[in-house]
Amino acid sequence: MAASKSQGSYFGLFLVGGIVACGGIAYAATGAGKLLLLVGAVILVASMVGFFKIKPLEGETPVLSSPEAMKWVGAGVATLGWLVTLGGLRVVQGNGGRIVVALIGIGLSLFGILGVLPAAFNKTAFWKKPSGAATRAGVTSRSGRATVEQEMTASTAMGVTK
């Protein structure tokens, strides 16, 4: 899930903090629950600080900005599926009908998540850039090989000055 060891470590810390905080929320009425909630919150803040610390090391993001309206439509369709599922509990009385309405809601949510949102993000995906455009400064693409001639030559690679 992570691109580097530090990202994986902070993500693991985030998961542990979330689990501990959820345990604290579940038993918030007890003293141990309040302690768990506090410890979980401290762990979550520590992971957030770690994420912000390594953010400058990530480099350039290859994804361009996507159409904002399509993102909202996808999120809206996913939310509508959730509302259909919850609304079906109030509207339909029988168990069989509730199952059918719940499956319709789940299907609608999956359509929003797996159908509409990827379509919005794939319009500006980094692999759809023109093939001749270099993605990084100093890198030129030639038929079958990439060179970094402006950045590094044989004399500078060996440490020899002209």
With a cut of 50, say whether residue 149 has pLDDT above it.
Answer: no
Whether residue 82 contacts residue 128, with contact meaning beta carbons closer than 8 Å, is answered with no
Identify the residue with better confidence: 139 or 103. 103
Please give the pLDDT value at position 120: 74
Question: How many other β-carbons are positioned within 10 Å of the β-carbon of residue 36?
Answer: 21
Rounded distance between C-alpha atoms, residue 78 and residue 63, angstroms: 23
Give residue-wise pLDDT tens across range 50-101.
988 887 666 666 556 667 888 889 899 999 999 999 998 889 999 999 999 9
Whether residue 101 contacts residue 91, with contact meaning beta carbons closer than 8 Å, is answered with yes
Give residue-wise pLDDT tens across range 99-108.
999 999 999 9
With a cut of 80, say whether residue 155 has pLDDT above it.
Answer: no
Rounded distance between C-alpha atoms, residue 159 and residue 161, angstroms: 6
Question: How many other β-carbons are positioned within 10 Å of the β-carbon of residue 48?
Answer: 14
Rounded distance between C-alpha atoms, residue 140 and residue 136, angstroms: 8
Interval 125-145 mean pLDDT: 55
